Structure 1
């Protein structure tokens, strides 16, 4: 398998190195266990002769060769974790050129993978339009507003698509690398996972902090503060809208546009977050915790926790040990 890692100026150092390390291990195990019959030919390519990482290290890049077509192109994250830094970065000349090159590779049959903020670089090309994708969870509101034609699900850690695959936040780079290795050999991927003490994760939902998402919009931020004060009382869209001096329709539309969910669904996210905190630090049983977040019984809360976090109460409590 021929893979090209597209190195842009100021990329996130860990994202690049974890991808390289995973494929290097896979190659080593391929030689030891399979006689080298499965190899990963990985190159780091760049649009500039000299590229530096976000930490200022020089990255040895190769020129993009027209004769050697990659099977996969991987776009690591840029080291721009805040919207006010990311938006200008996406308008850089080299990022625009990268988009053109990605479209060329795609037209030639290459598949494209990206993780974390690298998903924004791919989305800029329009190649993700009308497809499912994921991204780094704390920038999901910006992604959703900037690329309304992409079917975003930031709860998922990795989403295959027609053009390739996208992965979630930060260490999603490793999830992407392991997934690619698994497509070639599940046994090889299992061996790499063991050596790295890592495994493919299906969800990043339990890491999401709801108030970080709310900060993307003033109305949603006010709604979040209002909702936290009323977790025990239940939810009324009309009451929320009146308290925020807006209409129910406006609040509904803003939640859908920024968060990709209804006000009620976001209210339930806040309840789950509070319940998760109490599970970890209060010593209360599930019935008492349910009462603290506005539910009459623990069964309803258990169902909501598993639905939202992909894990049960016992699993969450086991994480404390």
Structure 2
């Protein structure tokens, strides 16, 4: 399988490193198998500049992009631009625009596109994700949703596959992406790499999302978040929230959908889940008492919500700190 990794100036060092290390390990284990039993990954690291420097100042030994380069997969590691103020100007850089042009050409020639974290923004810039599902780094989801309204974003997921390739979540989502790509060629090989790296493919980003970080993308949402935290025990009321925030129910509903991609009630439940997790980890309260603290009449309702949102049960969540 021919894999081309596109290195851009100021990329996220960890993202590139875990991709390279995962494919190197896969090739090592494949070479130890009987001939033809496992695939090799032909990895080429290219750049649109002759010299590429990472965010940590390391020089990346890239090859130039030539017409004979015909990858099966093109992979975009993230730029180390973790805020909208850094990312938006970076997307207008000449090297990023050149990379976008190459992406379109490779896709037209039949290559699949893979990106993780902020790398997903570059794919979205090409229009290739329009009318398709995608995920991205969770803390920039409001910006992604605003900038690319034609993309069906679900930042709660770690990996989203479509007909044009695959997008992955934040930061170490690069490792989830690499393991997923290896698994497409050989599930056995992916399992071996996973064991050596002590890592498994995660289906969800939801357990890692910090709701108040998302709220900071919009003043009304910030106020709604503060109101919600003060009223967790009382339960959710859209009319009461709108009245307290001096806005209409329709405006609050629309703003939540535009910024967060979810209803006010769904965001209120996110805050309940976050508070319940905190109490599960940092208190001796039983589930019934925790349910009361976050506005539920019984523990079974909270248990269901936690499993739906986090993909894990109460016992597993409490075991995290043991």
TM norm. shorter chain > 0.5? yes
- Aligned residue number for residue 69 of structure 1: 70
SS at match of 1:74: strand
Unaligned 5+ residue runs, structure 2? none
- Aligned residue number for residue 277 of structure 2: 276
Matches within 5 A, 1:294-313: 294-313=295-314
- Aligned residue number for residue 50 of structure 1: 51
Taking the aligned partners of 1:203 and 1:176, their CA distance within structure 2 comes to 13
Taking the aligned partners of 2:136 and 2:34, their CA distance within structure 1 comes to 34
Matches within 5 A, 1:118-137: 118-137=119-138
Normalised by the size of structure 2, how large is the TM-score? 0.98
**1:2 equivalent in alignment to 2:2:** yes
Deviations 1:107-139 (A, max 9, x none): 000000000000001100000011111001111
Taking the aligned partners of 1:34 and 1:258, their CA distance within structure 2 comes to 52
SS at match of 1:21: helix
Taking the aligned partners of 1:18 and 1:320, their CA distance within structure 2 comes to 26
SS at match of 2:3: strand
Cα drift, residue 238 of structure 1: 1.0
Matches within 5 A, 1:208-287: 208-287=209-288
- Aligned residue number for residue 183 of structure 1: 184
Moved more, 36-45 or 224-233: 36-45
SS at match of 1:44: strand
Normalised by the size of structure 1, how large is the TM-score? 0.99
Taking the aligned partners of 2:167 and 2:55, their CA distance within structure 1 comes to 21
SS at match of 1:34: coil
Taking the aligned partners of 2:103 and 2:91, their CA distance within structure 1 comes to 14
Taking the aligned partners of 1:68 and 1:117, their CA distance within structure 2 comes to 24
SS at match of 2:46: strand
- Aligned residue number for residue 35 of structure 2: 35
Matches within 5 A, 1:42-121: 42-121=43-122
- Aligned residue number for residue 314 of structure 1: 315
SS at match of 1:191: helix
Cα drift, residue 320 of structure 1: 1.3
Equivalent residues, number: 321
Taking the aligned partners of 2:2 and 2:236, their CA distance within structure 1 comes to 53
Cα drift, residue 68 of structure 1: 2.6
Deviations 1:266-310 (A, max 9, x none): 011101110110000111000000001111000110011111111
Taking the aligned partners of 2:236 and 2:21, their CA distance within structure 1 comes to 48
**1:14 equivalent in alignment to 2:14:** yes
Cα drift, residue 97 of structure 1: 1.2
Cα drift, residue 34 of structure 1: 3.5
- Aligned residue number for residue 195 of structure 1: 196
Taking the aligned partners of 1:104 and 1:32, their CA distance within structure 2 comes to 36
Cα drift, residue 35 of structure 1: 2.9
Taking the aligned partners of 2:39 and 2:308, their CA distance within structure 1 comes to 39
Unaligned 5+ residue runs, structure 1? none
Cα drift, residue 76 of structure 1: 0.2
Taking the aligned partners of 2:148 and 2:92, their CA distance within structure 1 comes to 15
SS at match of 2:157: coil
